[in-house]
Amino acid sequence: MHYHNKILKAFVITFLMFAVQGALAQSVPVKHIKLFHVEGNERIEPATINSLLIQEPGGGFSDESLNKSLQRLYDSGYFKDVKLKIIGNTLHIKVEENPSINRIGFEGNDDISDEILKGEVGISPRQPLTHSGLKKAVNKIKRIYRHKGFFVANVIPKIVKLPQNRADVVFEIEEGNKTKVGRIFFIGNSQFSEGKLESTIQTKESRWYRFFSSDDNYDPDRLAYDRELLRLFYLEHGYADFRVKSAVAELTPDKKEFFITFTVDEGARYKIGTVSVKTKLPNVDPAELEKFVTFRSGDVYNNKEVEKSVDKITNEVGRLGYAFVDVFPNIEKNRETNTIHLTFELSEGPRVYVEKISIVGNARTDDDVIRRELLLYEGDAFNADKMKKSERRIRNLGYFKNVKIIKEPWSYPDRINIIVELEEDRSGELSIAGGFSTSDGPIADFKFAEHNFRGRGQDLSFGVVWAKRRQEFDISFTEPYFLGRDLAAGIDLYRITQNKYFNQTFDQRIHGATLRLGYRLAEDLGQQVNYTLRRDEILGVKSNASRFIKEQAGQSILSELGHTVSYDKRDSRVDTTQGYVLGFGNSVAGLGGDIKYIKNSIFGAYYYSLMDDWVIEFSARYNVMAGLGKKVRVVDRYTLGADTLRGFEVSGVGPRDKSGEKNPLGGLHSYSGTVELTFPIGLPNEFGVKGATFVEAGSVWKSGDPKAEVDDQNKIRTSIGIGLRWRSPLGPLKVDLAYAMTKTKFDKTQPLLFGMSTRF
């Protein structure tokens, strides 16, 4: 009996527990809310507050919905404190609003401007001021200072309360001193010296000469980039198993310097074993594609050459009509023989179309300027060759330090997005060039130009040339997309005054204008047509001047129509390392005016990269002209010297009058050629200094004047020289010292030539 009572009691207790749970589970939200009562709000409308509340179906509230509503009210950022309470059928909402930001200020920021900080802090006037937002702003300011090298910068936010629940936020900044990189150590490197590895990474040890660079400031984000640079460097030299074990930065006790230690595992050096191409594409011969592989069996493995080979093979099969081909380099390592067997496997991928093209990084340049250089448009079938050519066209604009076009998958497998990533360069230019002549003293050339005027790609320039006996003023404007078409239209206005220039025996005044129109005939083939109208005056002729000059004294009008056609396959027109350019030009004077001649020229240049930073250039030009029923004037003939044939002064090469002042008379034929090698000279890469050595040759002859009165020889002149090319913080600087090896007795030499320009 007692046993049955226990069972009955347990059954009753269990039944009551389930009954209570069932009642709780089926409990409906608290009464239906008919009224909302809001208190404490000053700026936020009740309707805005009500919109943040979460109600159950039927208009009621449960504990869960009240908690969610409370969280949403806090998450809005409008409120410092919120209380919700249900009394009867009324929901009472009591809030304490966060202050509204009235103004944001900065104190103590000497190195970084207010404008930069305001754009980065993430808060702005008229927004609610929250504790979390303030904390994020402080962290962002500290991060900006870290990137600038102020690793110990301290930021203290101050809040100044104002009427109507407003507040000014002032960030008090203690910048401190820049935290430099004192030493960089490498552990585990046996194949390359510490100096070589330091030149590979972007972070540098602090030195006095790095006052124009921030690379010696410690930046934790840059450290991750340095790890990747080291990896790429070793991969380019055959170390396919290389890895960076760790990169540790230690702050010295005085908090003035960082010591950085890279621990590396170089691994073995690999050479290329077998190389082959496999494909099932119809009408594509793998043996023919192997010709586009840039390395052979026995070469040291270089991942950069593998990437080049992939690009070349992709471009070739694209030329054969296969726009959707994937080229995958299948790498097989043999660790016993330290060789890598490479197979380039080709497969035709699915047809992919461009959904959207985005352009990022162009804060100054209009999107239209970039889009008109693209050969791909939204809706087009994707073509890797067109993407590569588009990248080169944008780079050739000269407005950007870095240009990269990447593709990203879209939500559909047959669609991709194309992103054009840009890093803008300074497009303004201030250049100063000059030289020194024993006959005319110092020569200065000043030029101001804006190559991306108004961000529209327009070119505006103004130049002045000054020498003791020569002054030149010119202004030029070019619209690269005239009438909304791929037409580069421009105008040049100029005035030149020469007073017995380079020991000439006459003065010359030139006022002129040139109209230009350039366009593409094909992707790499272009033509420019120009028309020049010019008034020339030869006056102040000395009594001992050449009779040929005296005969041409007075005023003349030139009306000249000309054109130039060029085929340009250089990798970059701004900083050429490989490729070539060929062209020719013709011009005719005599369509009006009283000067009549025809000119013809042919030119070309070839660039080849011998190794990293070693570039050799071969260039040549040939010119010939003839009078049309009239003798060609002295001032219209060809001459060589200065930058056209280093080692000789301006007009220093060519026919000369035998009598009197031995005036240069110019010639109807000329040619010149250059072989120049630029190379690193062992200084750290950040110096931007390269050496140059060159050999030049040329000649000018056939003045058309009686040989008895003129020194005129078709004899080759040669010069040899050395130079420096410095990408200085103020701009490119060029200095050449040349020696004239072969010359005639009547040529004039000039050993030194220099030039400098700066961009802004």
Note the pLDDT tens digit of each residue in 62-74: 777 778 888 887 7
Q: What share of the chain is helix, strand, coil (3-state, %, to 5)?
A: 20, 45, 35
Angle at 349 between CA 346 and CA 352, to 5 degrees: 140
Q: Nearest CA to 184 among 170, 173, 198?
A: 198
Amino acid identity of residue 270, one-letter, is Y
Q: What is the mean pLDDT of residues 606-628?
A: 91
Query: Strand, coil or helix: what is 549?
Result: helix
pLDDT for 439: 46
Contact 126, 134 (CB under 8 A): no
DSSP 645: B
Grade residue 3 by pLDDT with cuts at 50, 70 and 90. very low
Note the pLDDT tens digit of each residue in 207-248: 776 666 677 778 777 888 899 999 999 999 999 999 999 999
Contact 430, 757 (CB under 8 A): yes
- Residue scoring higher pLDDT (760 or 543): 543
pLDDT for 465: 76
Q: Is the pLDDT of residue 452 over 50?
A: yes
pLDDT for 508: 78
CB atoms near residue 287 (< 10 Å)? 8
pLDDT for 18: 43
Q: Which is it for strands 458-467 and 441-453: parallel, antiparallel or unpaired?
A: antiparallel
Grade residue 21 by pLDDT with cuts at 50, 70 and 90. very low
Grade residue 268 by pLDDT with cuts at 50, 70 and 90. very high
Residues in the chain, overall count: 760
The secondary structure element, H or E, covering residue 384 is helix 384-396
| 671 and 746 part of one domain | yes
Considering all CA atoms of the chain, what is the largest pairwise distance in Å, rounded to the nearest integer?
Answer: 153
Grade residue 272 by pLDDT with cuts at 50, 70 and 90. very high
d(CA 662, CA 93): 102
| 133 and 255 part of one domain | no
pLDDT for 489: 93
Q: Nearest CA to 241 among 267, 272, 264?
A: 267
Q: Is the pLDDT of residue 264 over 90?
A: yes
Q: What is the mean pLDDT of residues 397-412?
A: 83
| 578 and 492 part of one domain | yes
* Backbone φ, ψ for residue 199 (5° rounding): -70, -20
d(CA 542, CA 554): 13
Note the pLDDT tens digit of each residue in 95-118: 878 888 899 999 988 888 888 888
Q: Nearest CA to 405 among 384, 389, 387?
A: 387
Grade residue 574 by pLDDT with cuts at 50, 70 and 90. low
| 605 and 478 part of one domain | yes
Grade residue 435 by pLDDT with cuts at 50, 70 and 90. low
Domain boundary among 81, 97, 113: 97
Q: Nearest CA to 512 among 549, 482, 472?
A: 472
d(CA 94, CA 41): 8
Mean per-residue pLDDT over the chain, rounded: 83
pLDDT for 630: 86
Q: Is the pLDDT of residue 251 over 90?
A: no
CATH of the domain at 408: 3.10.20.310
Grade residue 14 by pLDDT with cuts at 50, 70 and 90. very low
- Residue scoring higher pLDDT (559 or 661): 559
CB atoms near residue 580 (< 10 Å)? 16
Note the pLDDT tens digit of each residue in 357-403: 998 888 888 888 889 889 888 888 887 778 888 888 888 888 888 88
Structural domains of the chain, count: 6
| 161 and 241 part of one domain | no
| 53 and 192 part of one domain | no
d(CA 469, CA 502): 8
Q: Is the pLDDT of residue 740 over 60?
A: yes
Contact 682, 610 (CB under 8 A): no
Residue 572, both tokens? 């970059």
Residues 6+ apart with CB under 8 A from 179: 149, 150, 151, 152, 217, 218, 251, 255, 256, 257, 258
| 467 and 601 part of one domain | yes
d(CA 307, CA 415): 24
- Residue scoring higher pLDDT (619 or 759): 619
Q: Is the pLDDT of residue 80 over 50?
A: yes
Q: Is the pLDDT of residue 351 over 80?
A: no
Note the pLDDT tens digit of each residue in 659-698: 766 778 889 999 999 999 999 887 766 667 889 999 999 9
pLDDT for 157: 92
Q: What residues make up the domain containing 325?
A: 271-348
Domain boundary among 205, 239, 265: 265
The answer for 149, left when phi > 0, alpha when psi is -120 to 50, beta otherwise, is left
Q: Is the pLDDT of residue 618 over 90?
A: yes
Q: Is the pLDDT of residue 607 over 50?
A: yes
Note the pLDDT tens digit of each residue in 490-524: 999 999 887 665 556 667 788 999 999 999 898 78
pTM of the model as a whole: 0.58
Residue 446, both tokens? 């000043």
| 478 and 584 part of one domain | yes
Listing from the earlier edge strand, what are the strands of the sheet with 339-348? 271-279, 339-348, 325-334
| 642 and 709 part of one domain | yes
pLDDT for 33: 60
* Backbone φ, ψ for residue 26 (5° rounding): -95, 5
Query: Strand, coil or helix: what is 333?
Result: strand
pLDDT for 8: 46
Beta bridge partners of 562: 530, 587
- Residue scoring higher pLDDT (648 or 22): 648
| 140 and 246 part of one domain | no
d(CA 353, CA 381): 4
| 440 and 416 part of one domain | no
The secondary structure element, H or E, covering residue 53 is none
Domain boundary among 72, 97, 122: 97
| 208 and 305 part of one domain | no
pLDDT for 433: 62
Q: Nearest CA to 120 among 143, 146, 152, 151?
A: 143
Listing from the earlier edge strand, what are the strands of the sheet with 90-97? 35-39, 90-97, 79-87
